[in-house]
């Protein structure tokens, strides 16, 4: 019996060595743990844990890709970009080159990033931006019960509704825009999906104009295309980067702010921005910004924590800038 136990420990020790861990020898293990069968349990547990961690690490790494220039990686091994967002894409807008991606093909809920498509469809109809729209009971969020400062009966111009939907992510404003579309909200949502197909967004589906439903989904690769398309609209660029706006709502002046704090940062030059959040989507952020004098698209989905998406964006900016310096040709000193 003793030799059988010893042989078992030797086999386990060999398996652990295969995982790159230096184990106790079989004799040392027997001496330490005694002659009981329980002596093999710690080694078995350790082996299983190591295998689990190894598989988990492999799964994560298969979804992270760094672009390459020639045969050299974008960053050296010592420069690791650690991000808290579950799905990420960083792309050179001018060339389409992907600088970094992480789970970029994962199809996830996109929350209020939806409103970029809402704005494009609303503007594609060439509407009268000065026309007065009214917030109705149909615009009240019964799905999530979110709060709005646009009370039922409030009247704003279509342009003001569009600004608040994009800048402050006002759900009732987005809903009102869709209801005042030719054919109503049903036709509006259908137009959103038609527009998505026209843009080649194969992973994207829309079921409402606000993003309150988790059925509105997309991938990071699709959203990069959507951001690039939305960036072609001057009003979308303007409204998504407006820091704050004072709006008269039902006879009372109210101050509305941009949901992305980065738009007021002097360190950033942002051309388009949109945030999103529902429980199912986590915190999301898409931007078009100039980094190292190049137009860059950033997509961050499913960030855990209120400030994670902002922190990730700042880490990406520093990462791209540091890499540009590393890749820059060295000038010879002049005599």
Which two tokens mark 155?
């009247």
- CA 325 centroid distance within chain: 26
Q: By three-state DSSP, how is residue 23 classified?
A: coil
Residue 330 vs residue 138, higher pLDDT: 138
- 8 vs 126, higher pLDDT: 126
So what's the pLDDT on residue 49? 44
Q: Using the Cα atoms of residue 197, residue 203, residue 207 and residue 212 in order, give the sign of their dihedral.
A: negative
For residue 75, pLDDT over 50 is answered with: no
Pick the catalytic residue: 168, 169, 218, 219?
A: 169
| DSSP state string for 270-300 | EEEEEEEEETTTEEEEEEEEEETTEEEEEEE
Taking the C-alpha atoms of residue 206 and residue 189, their distance in angstroms, rounded to an integer, is 7
Q: How buried is 92 (Cβ within 10 angstroms: 0-12 exposed, 13-18 middle, 19+ buried)?
A: middle
The residue ranges of every structural domain in the chain are 2-56, 67-327
Please, what is the average pLDDT of the chain? Answer: 82
Is the model's pLDDT at 12 over the cut of 50?
no
Asked if pLDDT for residue 168 goes beyond 80, the answer is: yes
Q: Which of 39, 85, 86, 112 is catalytic?
A: 112
Q: Which two tokens stand for residue 224?
A: 């990069």
Q: Are the beta carbons of 220 and 101 closer than 8 angstroms?
A: yes
Q: Specify the pTM.
A: 0.77
Q: 112 φ, ψ to 5°? A: -75, 0
- Say if residue 171's pLDDT is above 80: yes
Please report, to the nearest 10 degrees, the dihedral formed by the alpha carbons of residues 201, 202, 208, 213 taken in order: -120
Q: Give the active site residue among 5, 102, 115, 195.
A: 115
User: Contact at 8 Å (CB) between 309 and 300?
Assistant: yes
Asked if residue 148 lies in contact with residue 170, where contact means CB atoms within 8 angstroms, the answer is yes
Least confident piece of the model among 49-63, 140-154, 211-225:
49-63
pLDDT score recorded for residue 331: 58
Mean pLDDT computed over 79-102:
93
* Helix, strand and coil percent figures for the chain, each rounded to 5: 45, 20, 35
Could you read off the pLDDT of 239-269 as tens digits, one per residue? Answer: 999 999 999 998 899 999 999 999 999 999 9
pLDDT at 209: 98
Q: Inform me whether the pLDDT recorded for 169 exceeds 50.
A: yes
Task: State the pLDDT confidence band at 313, using cuts at 50, 70 and 90.
Answer: very high
For 202-232, b/e burial (b = at least 16 CB within 10 A) is: ebbebebbbbbbbebbbbbbbbbbbbbbbbe
Is 169 labeled as catalytic in the residue annotation? Answer: yes
What does the pLDDT look like over 95-111, one tens digit per residue?
999 999 999 999 999 99
Query: pLDDT-derived band of residue 333, with 50, 70 and 90 as boundaries?
Result: low
Instruction: Tell me the per-residue pLDDT of 13-29, one tens digit each, with 9 for 90 and over.
Output: 444 334 443 333 334 43
The span from the CA of 248 to the CA of 254, in Å, is: 6
Q: Decide: residue 155, CB within 10 A, 0-12 exposed, 13-18 middle, 19+ buried.
A: middle
Closest CA to 209 of 243, 184, 241: 184
Whether CATH 3.30.565.10 fits 67-327: no
């Amino acid at each position: 019996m003793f030799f059988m136990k010893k042989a078992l420990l030797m086999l386990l020790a060999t398996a652990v060595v295969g995982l790159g861990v230096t184990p106790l020898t079989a004799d040392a293990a027997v001496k330490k743990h005694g002659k009981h069968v329980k002596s093999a349990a710690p080694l078995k547990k350790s082996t299983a844990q190591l295998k689990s961690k190894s598989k988990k690490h492999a799964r994560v790494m298969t979804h992270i890709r760094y672009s390459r220039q020639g045969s050299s990686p974008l960053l050296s091994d010592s420069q690791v970009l650690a991000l808290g967002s579950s799905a990420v894409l960083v792309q050179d807008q001018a060339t389409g080159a992907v600088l970094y991606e992480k789970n970029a093909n994962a199809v996830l809920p996109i929350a209020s990033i939806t409103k970029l498509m809402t704005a494009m469809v609303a503007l594609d109809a060439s509407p009268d931006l000065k026309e007065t729209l009214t917030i109705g009971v149909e615009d009240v969020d019964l799905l999530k019960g979110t709060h709005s400062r646009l009370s039922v009966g409030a009247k704003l111009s279509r342009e003001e509704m569009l600004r608040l939907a994009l800048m402050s992510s006002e759900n009732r404003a987005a809903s009102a825009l869709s209801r005042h579309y030719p054919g109503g909200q049903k036709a509006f949502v259908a137009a959103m999906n038609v527009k998505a197909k026209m843009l080649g967004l194969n992973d994207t589906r829309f079921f409402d104009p606000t993003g309150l439903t988790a059925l509105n989904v997309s991938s990071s690769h699709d959203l990069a295309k959507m951001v690039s398309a939305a960036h072609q609209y001057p009003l979308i660029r303007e409204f998504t980067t407006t820091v704050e706006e004072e709006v008269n709502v039902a006879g009372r002046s109210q101050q509305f702010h941009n949901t992305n704090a980065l738009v007021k940062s002097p360190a950033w030059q942002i051309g388009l921005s949109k945030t999103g959040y529902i429980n199912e989507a986590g915190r999301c952020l898409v931007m078009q910004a100039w980094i190292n004098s190049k137009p860059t698209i950033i997509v961050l989905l499913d960030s855990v924590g209120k400030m994670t998406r902002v922190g990730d964006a700042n880490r990406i900016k520093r990462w791209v800038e540091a890499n540009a310096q590393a890749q820059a040709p060295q000038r010879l000193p002049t005599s």
